[in-house]
Amino acid sequence: MIVIPDLVTHRYDPAIGVCPNLCDLSDFEALRVLDRLRRTVRPTLKLDYLARRRATEQWLAEAAGQVLRLPRNGDREGPGYFFLGDFSHLADLSRPASLVVPLSSLPVASITFTLGDSMTVAEQADRRVYSTDEVVALFAAGETVAGFGLSDRGGFQRRFIEVQVWDRMAFGGAVFSGAAPTQG
């Protein structure tokens, strides 16, 4: 048995705000953001990133709707992305700030998980989105999650568990407004 951490971490740029979602922007605005990132801190972002991100989010929204038993909603906003565990230690120039909150503070009916980065998972034949109960069961069994990093305190983690927060008001709305939260 592996103990599931009761922390999730969102990395962000305070100038942009917490939990922005590229796919909520128009193509024009999203491409401007990606161009700026390529010029400043992420020169390796592939030219097809936006198309791949949008395809990933379409799959995630459909899969999350099934896992969480949500009604079909083509207008649903994309999720906020978190790491399962404490990933606040390493420097990330494109996302220099961290918001670390208890997993238990998130509404269970509004979060899903992927075993790895969702863009990578979306390209796999056996892609899957998990509910909280399913992830708790995976941790109880241990083997499936044993190879995933749950903190970056010891260094960069190639494999991590991603948490998608579908309720953009999960933090009272203020966190998602673009204002930097108070960190405690």
State the pLDDT at residue 174: 37
* Residue 81 and residue 98 in contact, taking contact as beta carbons nearer than 8 Å: no
Domain ranges within the chain, ordered by starting residue: 7-177
pLDDT tens, position by position, for the chain (184 residues)?
A: 788 999 999 988 888 778 777 777 788 988 888 888 888 878 888 889 889 989 998 999 999 989 998 766 555 678 889 999 999 988 887 888 899 999 999 999 999 999 999 989 999 999 999 999 999 999 999 888 888 988 888 888 888 999 999 886 765 443 433 333 334 3
Q: How far apart are CA 40 and CA 114, in angstroms?
A: 29
In a 13 Å sphere around the CA of 120, the CA atoms on its Cβ side amount to: 9
Whole-number pLDDT of residue 69: 86
d(CA 17, CA 25): 14
| Count of residues in the chain | 184
Identify which of 184, 183, 134, 125 has the alpha carbon closest to the alpha carbon of residue 163.
134
The Cα–Cα gap between 80 and 63 comes to: 16
pTM of structure = 0.84
Widest CA span in the chain: 47
Cβ proximity of 107 and 12 under 8 Å: no
The pLDDT value given to residue 75: 58
Cβ neighbours, 10 Å, residue 153: 13
> What is the per-residue pLDDT for 4?
92
- The continuous run of DSSP H or E covering 163 comes out as strand 162-165
pLDDT at 95: 84
Can you read off the two tokens belonging to residue 49?
């990133």
